[in-house]
Structures are given as C-alpha cells and as structure tokens.
Structure 1
Amino acid sequence: MAEIDLSQSLWMLLFFVALGWLAARRLRVDPRPIATLLVYIISPLTFFHGLTQGQPSADKLILTLSVLLLATCLCLAVNRVASRFFAEQERALLAFSAGTGNTGYFGFPIALVLLPPEGVTLYLFCMLGVSLYEFTVGFYVSARGRFSVKESLTRLARLPLIYAFATGMLVSALDWQIPDVVADGLDYFKYCFTVLGMMIIGMTLGRVTWREFDLRFVAGCVVVRFVVWPLATLLMVLLLRMSVGVSDSLALAFLLIGAVPMAANVVVIAMELEIRPEKGAIAVLITTLAAPLLIPVYLGVALPWVLSF
C-alpha cells in the first residue's frame, strides 16, 4: 500500500488548477458564472447519469444514506464547535467542508486502482452520499452563514440536484431505459465537472493573494479532513466488521472516502453563496498537495488492522 503512486492523479488535478489560475490572471475570466453552471446544470446531470447507470438497489442505497448520515453528523458537530472560534462565514464554510471530500476526481481514480469492479461500484454509491450531502444539508448550513433560515431554505429548494436524485431513482425503480444517444451525451458532463471543478480553484486563487491566508481556518480544515474523517470512517468500518461483517472491498471503500482531500465543491458552493471562496481555495489546494503523502501511509496502517477483524 505504501507504494501506491498517486502522482498521476495529483499532477492532472494541479494542471487543471494551473489552467484556472492562468484564465483568471491573464484572461480575466470570472469564476462565478462557472460556479453557477456547476451547481445548477453540470452537477445535477452528472448525478442523474450516475444513478441511472449504477442500477441502485436497497443494499447500495443503504451505503449512500450511511455516508450521508456520517457527513451530516460531522458537519453539524463542526458547525457547533466552530461557532465559538470563527466568524459566521468562516464557520459556515468550515462546517460545509467538514462533511465532504474530493471523493470524485481525486478518490475515484485511486478506487479504480485499488478495488475490484464490484468494489468500485460500492465506492460510487458511497460517493453519491457525499454528493447528496453537499447539495442538501451542506448547502443549507453554508447558506446560513449569510442568509436567514427562510432564504436558505428557498435557495436549497431551488437546487436541481435534489430533483435529479429523485428523478434518477424513479427512472431506476421503473426500469426505464435511457436512449443510448442521451446516455452518451450525459457522459460528457462528468468530464466537464472534473475539469471545471478544479479550474475554479485556480481561478479563485488567481484573484487573491497569500496575505489572505488564514492559518486558523486552514488548520481547522486539515484537522477535520485528515484527522476527524479518517478516525470516523475507521471507527465505522470496525463496528461494521465486528457486527454485520462487511466485505474487504467495502471496508477499503469506506476508508478511502475518509482519506481524500477537501472537495473542490467547497470553493464552488462558497463562490455561489459568496462566503469566503478565497479561503476555501487555499485550504483545498493545501490538502490536495498533502493527500498523496498521507493516503498511502494511512491506508497502509489502517487497512491491515481492519482486515484482521
């Protein structure tokens, strides 16, 4: 496990970040319209396509709901603690980031390397739980950093991803077949999501200076992402192994969900709600750079221990 090479995934992501930085610095590209596209068009279509292609079953949806519940609990816990130390917008951003991670364009390539095909499917449904959190509980908590309860709920109700999830579930339950030409078209959106999601980090960084670096905020993000999440998922896997006896593939999928860096959607949501996106971008970049060093060590220690139960 210690020999896992994450350099390709890292350099790919950093290349997209660099393109975004150049677009902001040289071309004066405004990232806000791109954030709106990601939230209201690209993410919902990517989510819908994943659901219709993944053939959800009751067992798989339990995984999604379990990860959603874990993400929600961590978000609410951090939100309560952070309210004592941070201003409203920083508190909201930290709480949102506490429930999510870069499970998609960072974690998914690693899952393809480490897991068998059935394990990759399990990982995808765990990943759906993170995405569902981002655009439900996470979005609401973030919005409360700037808006009232009523306005936050109104903004939440406008999010199409909620309806994309419901529609995807309905299509799968009724066993409707998406025409091949439509499925092929929807497949392109996942690549847009990856490229634009990482570029928007670079665009945000291209508009700020390191004078805006907030050590307390970054430290909070690092602790939540690389201490709290790994411990929480490790505890969950151990409890499941000792109670219902989950498979090795599912155990590794859970551990990987807990070890990825901060999600690029932290910046996307912060940009859409205008709650300190520059601080989120700096924290995402730092955790992304640290992840290739930490993930092999963490999995190399945690996985053999878990599999011994």
Structure 2
Amino acid sequence: MFLYAEARIVELDLGPTLITPLWMLLAFVGLGWLCARRLAIDPRPIATLLIYLIAPLTFFRGLILGGPTPTYLLLTLGSFVVASLICLLVQRLVRPFFPAQEAAVLAFSGGTGNTGYFGLPIAMVLLPPEGVTLYLFCLLGITLYEFTVGFYVSARGQFSVRQSLVKIARLPLVYAFLAALLASALEIAIPGPVMDSLAVFPATYTLLGMMIIGMTLGRVTIRELDARFIAACVVVRYGLWPLIALLVVVTLQTTIGIAPELALALLLIGVVPMAANVVVVAMELSIRPEKGAIAVLVTTLVAPLLIPLYLEGLLRLTGLA
C-alpha cells in the first residue's frame, strides 16, 4: 500500500468539485444562524451532544466499516503525531502575543482542519475507494488529536492540569476508538440492524457541527471581530499546514515511497479550511467560541479560491501532475 507506483494524478478540475460541498456547508451555517436569531436556540447543549454522543458513534461506525489494519493504523498514528506537534508548536509561538484563552483556541485550531465536513466530500470525488479509505484513517488520527492533546491544550487555557486531564478522561471518543479496535481484533461481528441504525450519525455530525458555527455567529457583534486573531488562524491553516503536508509527502516519496492516492490524501488534509470542531470544543470549554466561529467562516469562504491553487501547485511540486 505504501509502495510508490509510477502513476500521476492529472486533470483535476477542482472548481466544480468544491462548489457543491461548499454551498452545502454554508447552507448549514446559515440554518444555524437563523435558529439562533429567530428561535433563540442555545448551541451549547448541541456541542455537548456532539462531543459525548454523536462523534464517538460516528467514528466507531467508521472504524468498524473500514476494517483497521496495522498499515491503516500507522496512518492514524502518523497524522495524530503530526497534528499534536503542530499544536504544541503553535502554542509556543502564539503564547507571548495573545491572552491565554485565545492562545489556547489558536493552538487547538493549529493542529486540525475541516478534514471531515469539508475534506471528505472532496476526497470521495478525487480519490478511488482505496484512496478514500486511506484518507479516512488519516482523518481519524486528527480527530483523536482533537479530543485528546488538542482538548487538553484548550482546557489548559482556563483549567488546571488535573481539571484538564479529568475532562479528557470523560471524553468517550477515545473509548469508542478502543472498542472498535477490540471488536476488530476479536472479530466480533456487529449486528446488521445496529450498524444500520448508526448510519444516521455521520450526516447528523456534519449537519449539527456546521450549524453550531451559524448559531455562534448569530450571537456575534462587530466588537468581537478580531483581525489579528483571524490573520493568525489563516496563516497557520493556509501557510503552515500546506508546507508541512508537502514536506511529509516529499519525505515519504524519497524514502519508503508512497502511492499517488495516499499522496493526494495527505495534500488534501493540508489545504482544507479550519475545523468546525474549533467552535464545538471552544463552546464546551467556554473559551471564546465567537472568535473561533468567525475564523472558521472566513477560512471556509476563501477555500474555493485557495484549495484548487494549492493542490495544483503541490501536485506539480511532488511530480503527481
């Protein structure tokens, strides 16, 4: 799977590919904004529901269907380590320039991206089924980062070490991950009706995750628009991450060799906009979710302009186009 194949990925027309997922996501954001403005819905219980129920069941189902193997799990481990290191790097860089809570949000967002809600629909169009599976296991590592290292760094912006660790211990996603690995290792068959009932959770995860951004924006005033904070988010997401993705792909190409599908999956992870989970986690920990929501919306709006340019340039630099 990691062996390099002499193949190229050519003629990627990403403009039309991005239009449908973008408008779908923006429609969900707008729906959330209407709910907050017209129905006065509080997004905090929804954030809690996402973290403690919907996300764990979504990724448990994905792992069971994906059939984890040592090779796939190596991708998960690799993406988890890279995301964690970027988070710690960003935390060190921004700490002298931002208040503790804002620095925590920046550090958390630095290690992740919208690899699920935004990146997955694009991956399903650009990649063959095997490539989508590779992308999913990379995505899983970043999600594990969000609810372990990322959550801890975010919590440390407001809570003590002990309080932060207690909060992580209460997160069920890690236990869902371990339960899926155990079921796979022991070859425990999950009953068909159970898996069918879990099929509703991925779409629910996407819908509510994007609606929370709109609900949070519905409470934002012009005074909360922080150009410096947004600029820092954009630099990390569209400056640091594409460079790291390029370095990872080139390093793997020149050492062990990788298939073009995996290379494209890694490059795509490097160019998606900010993660909607930045708002979800910030809301759960009460650490400036409004600023996170504005930054997520800005990076999502510019994604259709930047992603095709980034991917075309990165594919050429790696010899895949």
Q: Is it true that 1:211 corresponds to 2:233 in the alignment?
A: no
* 1:272 partnered with 2:280: no
Output the CA distance in 2 between the equivalents of 1:73 and 1:193: 26
Q: Report the CA distance between 1:210 and its aligned residue.
A: 2.5
Q: Which amino acid aligns with 1:118?
A: E
Distance in 2 (alpha carbons) for counterparts of 1:194 and 1:100: 16
Amino acid at match of 1:183: M
Cα distance, 1:2 vs. partner? 5.0
Counting only pairs closer than 5 Å after superposition, residues 66-145 of structure 1 correspond to structure 2 as 66-145=78-157
The one-letter amino acid paired with 1:232 is I
Aligned CA-pair RMSD: 1.0
2:44 alignment partner, one of 6, 28, 32? 32
Distance in 1, matches of 2:190 and 2:15, equals: 37
2:260/2:320 contact within 8 Å kept:
no
Shift of 1:175: 1.3
1:262 aligned residue? 274
Choose the corresponding residue for 1:188, options 200, 211, 215.
Answer: 200
Look up the equivalent residue of 2:119 and give its one-letter code. Answer: G
Counterpart among 4, 10, 16 of residue 28 in structure 2? 16
CA deviations over 1:133-173 (Å, ceiling 9, x no partner): 00000000000010000000000100001101110110111
AA in 2 matched with 1:55: G
2:180 is equivalent to residue 168 of structure 1:
yes
Find the residue that maps to 2:108 and give its secondary structure: helix
Equivalent pairs counted in the alignment come to 309
CA contact (8 A) 1:92 1:142 kept: yes
The answer to whether the 8 A contact 1:40-1:159 is kept is: yes
Gaps of 5+ in 2: 1-11
Letter matched to residue 23 of structure 1: C
Distance 1:181 1:3, change over 3 A: closer
State the secondary structure of the residue aligned to 1:199.
helix
1:242 corresponding residue in structure 2 = 254
Q: SS of the counterpart of 2:15?
A: coil
- TM-score between both structures, scaled by the size of structure 1: 0.98
Q: SS of 2:271's equivalent?
A: coil
SS at match of 1:113: helix
Matched-pair contact (CA < 8 Å) for 1:201–1:267: yes
Distance in 1 separating the partners of 2:313 and 2:100: 37
Shift of 1:250: 0.3
Letter in 2 for 1:151: Q
Q: Which amino acid aligns with 1:227?
A: G
Deviating runs (4+, > 6 A) in structure 1? none
Contact 1:248 / 1:307 at 8 angstroms: preserved in 2? no
Among 15, 33, 40, the alignment partner of 1:4 is 15
Aligned-pair distance for 1:28? 0.2
Kept in 1: contact 2:155–2:285 (CA 8 A): yes
The CA deviation at 1:299 is 0.7
* Runs of 5+ unmatched residues, structure 1: none
Cα gap change, 1:277/1:242 in structure 2, threshold over 3 Å: closer, same or farther? same
Distance 1:224 1:119 in 2: 26
Deviations 1:66-125 (A, max 9, x none): 010100000000001111100000000000000010001100111011111110110000
> Shift of residue 304 of structure 1?
2.4
Where 1:222 maps in the other structure, the secondary structure is helix
Distance 1:218 1:167 in 2: 38
Match of 1:41 among 42, 53, 59: 53
**Partner SS, residue 261 of structure 1:** coil
Aligned partner letter, 2:195? A
Q: Over residues 283-304 of structure 1, what are the superposed CA-to-partner deviations in whole Å (9 max), with x where a residue is unaligned?
A: 0000000111111111111112
Alpha-carbon separation, structure 1, partners of 2:113 and 2:132:
17
Is the contact between residue 200 and residue 267 of structure 1 (CA under 8 Å) also seen in structure 2? Answer: yes
Cα distance, 1:304–1:210 mapped onto 2, change above 3 Å: same
